[in-house]
A and B are shown apart, each in its own frame.
Chain A
Amino acid sequence: MMSAPKENFLKADVFKAGYLPGLRDDEVRWKHLQLGAPNNALTVAVPELSTEQFKNLASRIRLASRTHLKSWPVSDIVRTLDTAIARLLNANDPYRQALEHLLPRATGFDAAMVRLGLNSYLQTFRALQLQRFITEDFANPKLLDEFQPRPKGGWSKAIGPELLVHVWAGNVPALPLWSFVSGLLVKAGAIGKISSAEPIFASLFARLLAEVEPRWADCFAVVWWQGGDDVLERCVFAEAEVVLAYGGNTALRSMQDRMPVTTRFLSHGHKLSFGMVSNAALSVLRGQATARAAALDVARWDQQGCYSPQVFYVQRGGQVQPLEFAQLMASELAALTAKFARRTLTLEEAASVASWRKQHEFESLRQIGHQVLGDAAQAFTVAYADTPQTLLPGPLNRCVLVVALNSLQDVMPLIEPQRAYLQTVGLAAAPEELLALGDALGQAGVTRICALGAMTSPEAGWHHDGRFSLLDLVRMVDIDPSAELAAERFTGYEL
C-alpha cells in the first residue's frame, strides 16, 4: 500500500493531478501544464471534465457523503483527519515524500522553506487543534451530530452542505487544506478546483484520505477547469449548495456573475497585510530579534500569502531608529536568502520588482531620507521612507517598505484608503499598547493581529478575513418549541 504512490509520484515524468472517483483516466481529457522554473519544470496533467461528467460526479459525491459523512460523529471525522495529517508529518511517508518532491518543483519555492512551512502548517490540523477549531465556531460540537436542546426551548442542528464547491488559490503551497478540512468537519461532500499554480497538495491529500478511510473514497473530488469557463462554471455552481472561493477580485466577480441566487457564495479576495513596530520593541537588546521576526514574515512564501506583510510602520524614538530597523531587516533578509533562496522570478515578476525599486530610487533622488537598501541583484529589497506613506501593495517577492512614524496611532489614516483589503497586522508592541492599537486597527478594517514572525502561520480556528470558517458553511435547522409542544399532544399513550 505504501510503496505504490511513491512509485507513481516520484518517478513519473508527468504528475497527474486531480482525484476523480468513479472516473477512469482514459475516460477523461487531460491537459498538460508546465509549472515551475524553466530549468526544472514539472509537467502536470490536469483533468478537463465535461459538464456531464461534473453532474455525475456531483450526484455520486452527494450520495456518498450522505452515507459516509453525514452519519458520522464529528469526533470520528477528526480522528480520521488526524491519521492523515500524522502521515503527512512523517518524513518517511510516501505522500509526504511526494509533497516534498513535487511542491518545490511546481511552485519554485525553496525546498527547505516548503519542508519547514508544511510542518508548522500541518501541526495546526492535528486532532487537538481540530477539536479547538470546531469549538471556536460551535461551543457545543454535538450540534454537528444531532439535534441539541436550546436553552430557550426547541432544538437545533447544524447541517453542512450536500455539495460544497471549493475554488482554491495557488499562491501558497497546501493552501487548500484549510477549506478542505473545514468542509469535512461539517460533513459536506466536496468538489475542489485546484489552481494551475499549485495543483499538487489537494490532489495528493484527497488520495491519502481515500487510502486512510476507504469509505470516504466517493465523498469528494479534486478537479480542474480553466477559470472563467462560462458553461462549466454555471454548471458546477448550480450543483453546489455553497461555493467557497479564493482568488483575485476580478476572478471572484466573474464567479459571482455565474452564481445562482440560491447558492451561498463565500469569497476570499485580495488582501493586504502589514507590520507595526512600537519603540517598546526597539531597544538595543530587542531590536535585532524584532527585525529577524519581521524578515521571516517577509521571506516566508516570498510574500505570496494574503497574510504576508508589504509595509512596516516603525515608531521613532526607540534606541533602534526606524532607519536602523530597516537596515537590520535588510541584513536579516540577506541572511534568510542564504537559508531560503527566493523563487526564480518570471520576467513579468522581475519587471514588477524592478519598477517598484525604480519608483523608490526616484523618490530617493527627490527626497532626503528616502532610501533603497539592498542591491538589485540581491533577492530582496528594503525601501525606507522618512515621511508617512499610505499603505500600498508592493511587488511581493521579498520587497518591503519601512516607514518611520512618530506614533503608531499615525498608522490609522495611512491604512484608511485600503479598508476593504486589510487583513493581518504583525504587531510588536508593549502590553499596554496592544488593546488600544487592536481596537483602532479593528475599526480600520483589520481582521487579524498577531506577533511578528507569526504572520504567515494563522492559528487553527482563526477567523479568516474576519469570518467563521465552519459556521459560514452550515445551515442551522431549528425545531421550534411549538413543534415540540405540539408533538406532546400527539403521544400514542394517554396522559
Chain B
Amino acid sequence: MATAEKVPLNLIEVILAQGSCLTELSRSVSCSEHVLVSQQPPLPIKMARDMAQDTANSSSTSEDITRELLAFIARPSVSDEEFNELALRIFARQFMLNLPFQRFCQLRGKTPRLVKSWRDIPAVPIDAFKEFTLSCLPAEDCERVFMTSGTTRGEVKGRHHHPNLAVYDASMLRHFSEHFMQGDARLPMGILFPTETLMQNSSLAHYLGLAMQDFGSADSAYYLDQNGLRTDALCEALRKAEQSGQAFALLGASYSFVHLMDELQVRGLSFALPKGSRILDTGGFKGQSRDIPMDAFYAQLSATFGVDRRQCINMYGMTELSTQFYDAGNRSVPSVKRGPHWLRSRLLDPLTGQEVAHGERGILAHTDLANVNSVVTILTEDVGVATDDGFVLLGRAQGAQAKGCSLAVEDFLKAARG
C-alpha cells in the first residue's frame, strides 16, 4: 500500500526562510508512488536543499534573466535553438523557485534534468492560476498582480504575479507596434475600456493604457468610465477625425464595441473614418453583451465606423500570458492569429498532452518566454487549429454534453447555474 510520504518540514522551512512564496504548501507536501507518473521520485533532500540555497540569490537571478529576456525580445528574430535554450533556462529557474510548479512537474514526470526541448516543458492548465501562487518571486514582492475576470468559475480569480512590468511592457510594445501601429509612430486613440486606475488588476487596462501612452497622440482619450460609455464625446472625436482626415484608432473590449454599436444604432449614427483608421477589439463577449457571430460583428464594425475589415484587428490575449497575439485584420473569419518570436504555440490532445496532427483541432498551449516569473508554458481552454504561420481560434472547449440522461459534469454545472 502506498503511504503518503512527507517532504521534511525543515526543507519547507528552508525554502520559506529564503523567500519562497508557497504558503499553500507550507504545512507539508504529499508524494506517493501512485501518483499519475510514478517513475519520478521526490527530489532527494540534498538536491532540494541545494536548490533552496539558490533561492537566496533569486533576486539577482531575476534581474539577470530579465535583462537577458529584454535583449531577446529586442532582437529581430531568433533561431529555434536560441528559443529552446532560453525556454529551458526559464523553465529550470521556475522549477527551482516555484514549489507548486515543481510539484506539478514531478507529477508529470518532467524535471529540468529530463526536459531537453521546450516542447516537453509541462503545460500548466490556466486553472492553476486560480488554485496556486505561481510566482518565482514571493508574491508580496511582486509589483503587479493581474487577475482574471473570473467569468468561468464564479468568484475564484486567477492571479498572475509580475515582479515588475519591464518584460510585459517590452513584449507588448514591440509586438503591438508591429501589428497594430504598422509604421505609424502615434495615432489619436479612443479607448473603450476603463483606465488602469479604475481597474488596477486588469491586464487589459494596463495594456490599453500602455498603448495610449506610447502610441497615442495628445488628443487620445478614454471613452468608458464608471458612468459607462461616453458616447457623445466619442462621437465628437470621431466626427473630428472624419473632418480632419487624420486616421483614428479605436481600441477596446469586444463587448464594449457591441454596446457602442447598439447605442449608435439607436441614434442612427455611423461614421466614415479616414483611410488608415483602425480598430482593435479583444476578449470576446464573455456574457457581457449579446453574443453575436464573429462575421456579423466585423461586418457591423466596418459598416459603423467605415473601417476596412482588414484594419479591424483582433487581439487574443489572456491574463495568464505576458504576450499577445494579433491577426492581420478580419476580412474573413476566423482569422489567423500570430505571436512574436518569444512566444510559440502548439495544439495538444488534452489527455495525452501530445501535439495533434497538423490541421486537426486541439487545445492551445503557449510557451511565452515573457512569462518569466510565472510558468513559461500554459495550457489554455481554447480550441484551435494550426496554420502555417499561426493558428485559428475556434472557441472554448465546451465540455462534451452527455447524449442522454447520464449526468456529466458540464450538464450538471449548467443545470446548477439554472
Contact string, B379-391, partner A, CB cutoff 8 A, digits 1/0? 0010100000000
**Contact (Cβ within 8 A) B402 A248:** yes
B-contact bits for A312-350, CB 8 A (1 contact / 0 none) = 000000000101100100000000000000000111111
Inside 8 A of B409's CB, which chain A residues have their CB? 352, 356, 392-395
User: Is B169 located at the chain interface by the 8 A CB criterion?
Assistant: no
Shortest beta-carbon distance from B359 to chain A in Å: 12
Cβ of A250 under 8 Å from chain B: yes
Across the interface, do B351 and A350 meet the contact criterion of CB distance under 8 Å? yes
- Whether B405 is near chain A, meaning CB under 8 Å from some CB there, is yes
CB of A362 within 8 A of chain B? yes
Q: Which residue of B lies closest to A267 (CB)?
A: B405
Most chain A CB inside 10 Å of its own CB: which residue of B34, B353, B402: B402
Q: Which residue of A lies closest to B38 (CB)?
A: A375
The residues of B that contact A250 with a CB separation of less than 8 Å are: 411, 414-415
Known: A248-B401, A362-B127, A372-B36. A354 touches B406 (CB 8 A): no
Contact B351 A377 (CB under 8 A): yes
Chain A residues with Cβ below 8 Å from B104 are: 361, 365
CB contacts (< 8 Å) of B25 on chain A: these are 365-366
Chain B residues within 8 Å of A350, by CB: 349-351
Does A304 contact B2, Cβ atoms closer than 8 Å?
no
* B132 beta carbon closer than 8 Å to chain A: yes
Q: Known interface pairs A270-B411, A346-B400, A392-B412. Does A365 touch B405 (Cβ–Cβ under 8 Å)?
A: no
- Interfacial chain A residues near B1, Cβ < 8 Å: 321, 323-324
Given contacts A172-B404, A304-B406, contact A248 B411 (CB under 8 A): yes
Closest residue to A421 on the B side, CB-wise? B407
| Cα separation A362 to B128 with both chains bound (whole Å) | 8
Report how far A372 CA is from B173 CA in the complex, Å: 42
A327 CB contacts on chain B under 8 angstroms = 2, 34
Interface: B362 (CB within 8 A): yes
Per-residue A-contact encoding for B332-359, CB less than 8 Å = 1, 0 else: 0000000000000000011111000000
Q: Does A268 contact B (CB under 8 A)?
A: yes
Can you name the residue of chain B whose Cβ is closest to the Cβ of A376? Answer: B351
Q: Within the assembled complex, what's the spacing in Å between the Cα atoms of A375 and B398?
A: 23
| Interface flag for B372 (CB, 8 Å) | no
Q: How far is the CA of A364 from the CA of B305 in the complex (A)?
A: 52
A170–B404 CB distance below 8 A: yes
Contact A171 B404 (CB under 8 A): yes
B contact residues around A271 at 8 Å (CB): 405-407
Whether, in the assembled complex, A371 has its beta carbon less than 8 Å from a beta carbon of chain B, the answer is: yes
A290 neighbours in B (Cβ, 8 Å): none
Q: How far is the CA of A172 from the CA of B128 in the complex (A)?
A: 35
Q: Please tell me if the beta carbons of B131 and A352 are within 8 angstroms of each other in the complex.
A: no
Instruction: Give Cα A386 to B397, complex, Å.
Output: 30
Closest B residue to A369 using CB positions: B4
> A308: CB under 8 A from chain B?
yes
With contacts A358-B127, A368-B30 taken as known, whether A169 is within 8 angstroms of B404 at the C-beta atoms is: yes
Complex alpha-carbon distance, A89 and B402, angstroms: 29
- Cα–Cα, bound, A369→B28 (Å): 12
Cα A169 to Cα B349 in complex, Å, equals 28
Q: How far is the CB of B37 from chain A (nearest CB, A)?
A: 7
Give 1 or 0 for each of A453-492: 1 = CB within 8 Å of chain B CB.
0000000000000000000000000000000000000000
Cα distance, A195 to B401, chains bound together (Å): 14
Which A residues lie within 8 Å of B353 (CB)?
A: 376
A374–B36 CB distance below 8 A: yes
CB distance from B110 to the nearest CB of A (A): 13
In the complex, the chain B residue whose C-beta lies closest to that of A365 is: B103
Nearest Cβ in chain B — how far from A243, in angstroms? 15
Contacts of A53 in B (CB 8 A): none
Q: B103 CB to closest chain A CB, in angstroms? A: 5
In the complex, whether A50 has a CB less than 8 A from a CB of chain B is no
Contact of A349 among B29, B36, B400 (CB under 8 A): B400
With a CB–CB cut-off of 8 A, which chain B residues contact A395? 399-400, 408-410
> Quick one: which of B82-136 are within 8 Å of A by CB?
100, 103-104, 107, 125, 127-128, 131-132
Instruction: Select the residue from A348, A373, A375 with max chain B CB neighbours within 10 A.
Output: A348
Tell me if A428 counts as interface (CB < 8 A to partner B). no
Q: Are A351 and B399 in contact, CB atoms less than 8 angstroms apart? A: yes
B35:A372 contact, CB within 8 angstroms:
yes
A10 to B1 alpha-carbon distance, docked (Å):
51
Interface size class of B (residues with CB under 8 A): 35 or more
In the complex, which of the residues B131, B351, B363 has the most CB atoms of chain A within 10 Å of its own CB atom?
A: B351
Nearest residue (CB) in B for A363 is: B131
Shortest CB–CB separation between residue A297 and chain B, in angstroms?
13
A355 and B407: CB pair below 8 A?
no
Q: Is A364's CB under 8 angstroms from B351's CB? A: no
Chain A residue nearest to B5 in the complex (CB):
A368
Closest-by-CB residue of A relative to B356 is A347
Name B131's contact: one of A306, A323, A362, A421 (CB within 8 Å): A362
The answer to whether A376 and B352 touch (CB under 8 A), given A365-B25, A366-B24, A393-B412, is yes
Chain A min CB distance to B6 (Å): 7
Q: In residues 1-31 of chain B, which contact A (Cβ within 8 Å)?
A: 1-2, 4, 6, 24-25, 28-30
Chain A residues lying within 8 Å of B415, measured Cβ to Cβ, are 249-250, 270
CA distance A327 to B128 in the complex (A): 27
In the bound assembly, the distance between CA atoms of A353 and B404 in angstroms comes to 18
Please give the distance in Å from A343's CB to the nearest CB on chain B: 11
List the B side residues contacting A305 at CB < 8 Å. Answer: 406
A197 within 8 A of B: yes
The reply to whether B383 and A371 form a contact with Cβ atoms under 8 Å apart is no
Set of chain A residues within 8 Å of B406, measured between Cβ atoms: 171, 270-271, 303-306, 308, 396
Q: Are B350 and A195 in contact (CB under 8 A)?
A: no
A283 vs B411: C-alpha distance when bound (angstroms):
38
Is A272 an interface residue when CB atoms closer than 8 A count as contact?
Answer: yes
| Cross-chain contact of B404 among A306, A349, A351, A352 (Cβ < 8 A) | A306
Nearest-neighbour CB distance to chain B for A320, whole angstroms, equals 9
Whether a CB of chain A sits under 8 angstroms from the CB of B310 is: no
User: Is residue B267 contacting chain A, with contact meaning CB distance below 8 A?
Assistant: no
B24 pairs with A375, CB closer than 8 A: no
- Complex CA–CA separation, A306 to B412 (angstroms): 13
Q: Which of B237-283 contact A (CB under 8 A)?
A: none
> Complex formed: what's the CA distance from A269 to B411 in Å?
11
**Nearest A residue (CB) for B106:** A365
- Are A371 and B35 within 8 A (Cβ)? yes
Asked whether, in the complex, the Cβ of A347 is within 8 Å of the Cβ of B397, the reply is yes
Min CB distance B358 to A, Å, is 15
Chain B residues with Cβ under 8 A from A370's Cβ?
30
Per the bound structure, the CA–CA distance linking A345 and B351 in Å amounts to 10
**Interface 1/0 per residue, A264-307 and B, CB below 8 Å:** 00001111100000000000000000000000000000011110
C-beta contact mask, A371-388 vs B, less than 8 Å → 1, else 0?
111111100000000000
On whether the beta carbons of B383 and A347 are closer than 8 Å, the reply is yes
A323 vs B25: C-alpha distance when bound (angstroms): 23
Q: Which 6 A-B pairs have the closest CB atoms?
A: A169-B404, A171-B404, A352-B399, A368-B30, A354-B350, A351-B397
Contact surface of A with B, Cβ cutoff 8 Å: 169-172, 175, 195, 197-198, 246-250, 268-272, 303-306, 308, 310, 321, 323-324, 327, 345-359, 361-362, 364-377, 392-396, 421
- A-B contacts, 17 of them at CB < 8 A, read A197-B403, A198-B403, A246-B405, A248-B411, A270-B415, A346-B400, A348-B398, A352-B399, A352-B408, A354-B351, A364-B107, A372-B36, A377-B351, A393-B411, A395-B400, A396-B408, A421-B407
- Given contact pairs A171-B405, A323-B1, a sample of 15 additional A-B residue pairs in the complex whose CB atoms are under 8 Å apart: A197-B403, A247-B405, A248-B401, A327-B2, A347-B383, A349-B400, A351-B363, A354-B350, A357-B351, A359-B127, A364-B107, A366-B131, A369-B4, A376-B352, A396-B406
